[in-house]
Amino acid sequence: METMTTACVKLNAQASNKTEAVRIAGQLLVDAGYIAPGYVDSMLKREEVANTFLGAGVAIPHGMVEDRHLILHTGVAVVQFREGVTWKDGDQAQLVVAIAAKSDEHIVLLRRLTRLMQLPKSIDSLVATDDAQLIVSTLADEPVPTAAPATESMAWPSEAHSDWTLDYPNGLHARPATRWVDTAKRFTCDIRVYKGHEFADAKALTGLLSLGVTRGDSLRIAARGPDARRAVDALLDAVRALSAEEKADAERARRNALAARRSAPDWLPGGSPQAIYGIGASPGLAIGTLVRHISHQFDVPDSPGDVVADGETLESAVLAISQELQTMEAQTRTRLGASEAAIFAAQRELIADADLLRDSLASILRGHGPAWAWQFALQARVEKLQAVADPLLAARALDLRDVGERVLAHMLGIERHSLVLHQPSILVAEDLTPSDTLQLDMKFVVGLAISSGGPTSHTAILARTLGLPAVVAAGSALLVAPEGQLAVIDGGVGAVYLDVSQTDQDAANEVIARQTATRNALRESRYLPATTTDGHTVEVAANVANAKQASVAIEAGAEGVGLMRTEFLFLERNIAPDEEEQYRVYREMTEVMGGRTLIIRALDIGGDKKVPYLNLPTEENPFLGVRGARLLLIRQDLLYTQLRALYRAAAHGPIRIMFPMVTHTSEIEALREHCERARQQVNGPQLKIGIMVEVPAVAVMADKFAPLVDFFSVGTNDLTQYTLAIDRQHPELAPQADSLHPAVLDLIARTVAAAKKHGTWVGVCGGLAGDPLGARILTGLGVDELSMSAQDIAAVKATLRGDSFSAMQVLAQRALAAGSADEVRAL
């Protein structure tokens, strides 16, 4: 039976009061066979205890929960009162939408109504229409599109707007969306993000995610109010700046997947065990007992009390969970790193969403209990996210459900217990929430097998961080596998094997022992120098942004910092850091380094990194515009503030200063003069001054630059971009920007050769340094230092220790002679 038909629509009705209006709507439902006559009285009873006026001229009368037995079928009736009917507190209802729902089937309708209420012209069109079918089409579960929403959305009187096409390979998911929200919240004006006729508040994470923005979608960022233009520009800069990061993550995942498919499995069963296949999400092999993790099921009664007290109960629960998440974020950052901690920052944003709270409070005002109201609003948003076509975006519904149920448990006084294990176990679940995963007893969990999800889900990300083999998207067959039996999980192949013979178990245990030994050897040898088998040593350092990352890198085996990015001091704030603040940061870095090499890059703003409060002009191609050293020579206020702070900090430990985006010899000559002047101003020590080699002109003219600097540091990411004429943010071309291209390697070889003639030290701080093949080729070319992410250090060091310098020199020459990056990788 249809939920809504034209028989349940009455146009241009007349009623002298609310009671009469409810009876008219109720009778339509009775006549259509949706409800028994007694349910109309239940609807009137609801009006006595709650206000069903939703807003924007819409009222939604419905019956009491205890009278649901009077509902024969879920149905909706709409009565149009063009002259309006006085509801409660003087509100005028022009559309009365009577709902008879046997359970929660009406949630879709309420979501549709809420959306329409943000578009007043759409509501007006329904109040004025003489077409009953238009009302049905607009409010039905599968609404027929009309022109009204699009017209209304673009008619919002914004004072500034800009258009942009999203180029994130994985669409707008929780992590980048959180950064959008953080940027938008810095401004007091109203900011919206439009996708076609739909829009979301840029300060509300769930709203942004529910737009279902995927790669290639055209967006409009619009704002009105104080600083509208500045807010739009800042948000546009922020969303663009994330492109490179999102593309790099996607490309890394693609290459890892290709590598996994190309490599032969370390173990395959010799017998014929039952195999359940999914997607390999975290590599490794493990044997354990299957243990099923079942999510807590909430039975939420609708128990309304005092409206004010209920509202306070909800708000205090949200505040309490927000504080818990803040603690979990800090603990996770210490235990696993900033990337994993960002999951809980995103969850804090999800429950801080004003729309979610407002809808929950509105339900309380309409006579529902706080837990029921929260669950109702929460479920509506979860379902909307799950309905998004993009699986990555739909997966974010799990985050919202996770954090929302934490709030629910707090209100209901339910303690969420961790799973207690007593033996090596492979945990089987439909999915695991981030908090579930972090609370695992790592003493006994040896693998994760998930029936849903994907390789980019939080479960997969955390499994890789924790070093657990993981398989995702294994389907329903996984959930019916007998619990308690022994199984083998292969996270590289993406399979769970059941009924494995003893012979195969023994073989798997041998492989596991070898894998464990390899990991332990890497960890135990991480402090050993990267000395080749024939005695050549290369320094291995880390790329960091702050003292905490530097500390982690040193623990991971870094011998120094080859690149400290100072632009992060300038981002996510409204004013530039002053000299004193910068001095404290740089001094802390020297203290953490304990005398090790510390190369600090001067402010590198421009290209994909923008700072709105600097009021820099908008450029057609910022990667080829005023950035790096070019900007510092123009904005000497920024240059001198930073240089004075650096020279002051250098009194506490050795620092080297590196300038980015140098193109002309005259630039480094001028910068050296400014350095000396700043040094004299604070009576600082003499420091080594170097430049990044990221512009091809510098590599070609390295023999002219080498006498002017103390060191070179090759930035392979930008050098590749400029050499190959490929914007590394380009949605189609970015994967082709491969730093192993022979043309890029040739420029590095030229740089090293010129540097050696003048006794100039050369490091590499781009992504190529952390690639084991890239590290061998760079070593063969003669670089002195490789600087990379902390997680790559131990593996790169081990790779270099396992080969001879002479063999790497031969490899480097073969790479230079290759015709493409693919040929180089095939070496």
3's tokens: 């939920």
Closest alpha carbon to 500 in 273, 277, 267, 266: 273
Contacts of 622 (CB under 8 A, 6+ apart): 606, 607, 608, 610
674 catalytic per annotation: no
Contacts of 28 (CB under 8 A, 6+ apart): 7, 8, 9, 10, 77, 79, 98
User: Of 197, 410, 458, 741, which one is the catalytic site residue?
Assistant: 458
CA-CA-CA-CA torsion for 476, 481, 483, 487, nearest 10 degrees? -120
642's tokens: 């930073």
Do residues 471 and 288 touch, judged by C-beta distance below 8 A?
no
Do residues 453 and 463 touch, judged by C-beta distance below 8 A?
no
Strand, coil or helix: 318? helix
Rounded to an integer, what distance in angstroms lies between the CA atom of residue 40 and that of residue 23?
6
Rounded to an integer, what distance in angstroms lies between the CA atom of residue 18 and that of residue 48?
11
User: Of 62, 106, 197, 368, which one is the catalytic site residue?
Assistant: 62
User: Of 8, 189, 675, 765, which one is the catalytic site residue?
Assistant: 765
Specify the residue for token string 């398989």.
471
Specify the residue for token string 């005092």.
306
Strand, coil or helix: 141? coil
Closest alpha carbon to 167 in 235, 216, 211, 218: 216
User: Of 106, 173, 293, 410, which one is the catalytic site residue?
Assistant: 173
Specify the residue for token string 């996607």.
250
106 catalytic per annotation: no
Rounded to an integer, what distance in angstroms lies between the CA atom of residue 685 and that of residue 677?
12
| Number of other residues whose CB lies within 10 A of the CB of residue 259 | 11
173 catalytic per annotation: yes
Contacts of 362 (CB under 8 A, 6+ apart): 54, 373
- ∠ at Cα 37 (1, 88), nearest 5°? 100
The terminus-to-terminus CA distance of the chain in angstroms comes to 66
CA-CA-CA-CA torsion for 703, 709, 710, 711, nearest 10 degrees? -60
Encoded amino acid at 151, one letter: T
741 catalytic per annotation: no
Check residue 483 and give left, alpha or beta (phi > 0: left; psi -120 to 50: alpha): beta
Q: What is the DSSP letter of 296?
A: P
Q: Indicate which residues carry an active-site annotation.
A: 62, 173, 458, 765
